[in-house]
């Protein structure tokens, strides 16, 4: 029995350390006069969360944090990269990815939505990395390698919460923070379950 105990302990340590889950990290973007965007990769799934800018700015005022840091605090995932840009840069990125989505699918410009745009980028990530589009996206988004996040992605989910939040004069910021943290946890749970299915 004495010889079996070290093996059981070793097996227990291997099981516990083998089950250790790496924390998910996110990219945070704040586009002045437009919106805030958070994206993260969990296994082979990419989630993109779009929030109204006035929500993030209001929370930044409440917490006395810079807007990018407030966004990270509000969502609760550690940042890989945070950047701030203009609404014009966001518009340029949307125009480019709309054209890409129209070219790679049978959709017209009016039929292309954020989900289609991201799917077009994911679908072309392998060959687009070697084109001028990569340089353009680097300039527009602030990512040093905009296609690194997209490698190995098999599923894309875009959650646009801009219409879900209307800010009253009095707001319970702790509730909003808790709600968004729970929302992100549910998205992560969905991403993990969809891989298992």
Q: What is the pLDDT of residues 58-94, one digit of tens each?
A: 999 999 999 999 999 999 999 998 989 889 988 888 8
> Domain residues of the chain, as ranges?
22-196
Comparing C-alpha atoms, which of 151, 136, 48, 39 is closest to residue 93?
136
3-state SS class at 104: helix
User: How far apart, in Å, are the Cα atoms of 41 and each of 32, 54, 57, 153, 187?
Assistant: 24, 26, 25, 8, 11
Q: How far apart are CA 197 and CA 194, in angstroms?
A: 5
Helices marked H in 19-158 — which ranges? 53-63, 67-75, 87-104, 114-128, 132-141
> Among 60-69, 89-98, 127-136, 141-150, which stretch is predicted with the lowest mean pLDDT?
141-150
Q: What is the pLDDT of residues 38-63, one digit of tens each?
A: 999 998 899 999 999 999 999 999 99
Predicted TM-score (pTM) of the model is: 0.81
Nearest 10 degrees: Cα torsion 137, 141, 145, 147? -70
Angle among Cα 103, 52, 151 to the nearest 5 degrees reads 40
Helix axes 67-75, 53-63, angle to 10 degrees: 100
Comparing C-alpha atoms, which of 45, 19, 20, 34 is closest to residue 122?
45
């Amino acid at each position: 029995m004495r010889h079996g105990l070290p093996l059981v302990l070793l097996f227990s340590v291997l099981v516990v350390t083998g089950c250790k889950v790496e924390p998910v990290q996110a990219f945070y973007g704040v586009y002045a006069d437009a919106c805030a965007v958070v994206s993260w990769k969990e296994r082979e799934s990419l989630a993109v969360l779009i929030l109204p800018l006035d929500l993030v700015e209001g929370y930044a005022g409440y917490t006395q944090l810079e807007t990018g840091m407030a966004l990270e605090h509000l969502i609760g995932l550690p940042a890989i990269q945070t950047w701030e840009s203009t609404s014009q840069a966001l518009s340029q990125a949307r125009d480019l990815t709309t054209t890409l989505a129209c070219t790679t699918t049978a959709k017209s410009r009016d039929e292309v939505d954020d989900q289609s745009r991201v799917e077009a980028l994911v679908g072309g990530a392998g060959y687009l990395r070697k084109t001028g589009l990569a340089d353009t996206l680097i300039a527009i988004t602030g990512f040093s390698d905009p296609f690194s996040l997209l490698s190995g992605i098999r599923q894309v989910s875009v959650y646009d919460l801009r219409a879900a939040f209307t800010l009253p004069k009095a707001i319970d910021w702790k509730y909003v923070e808790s709600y968004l943290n729970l929302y992100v946890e549910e998205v992560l749970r969905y991403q993990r379950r969809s891989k298992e299915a």
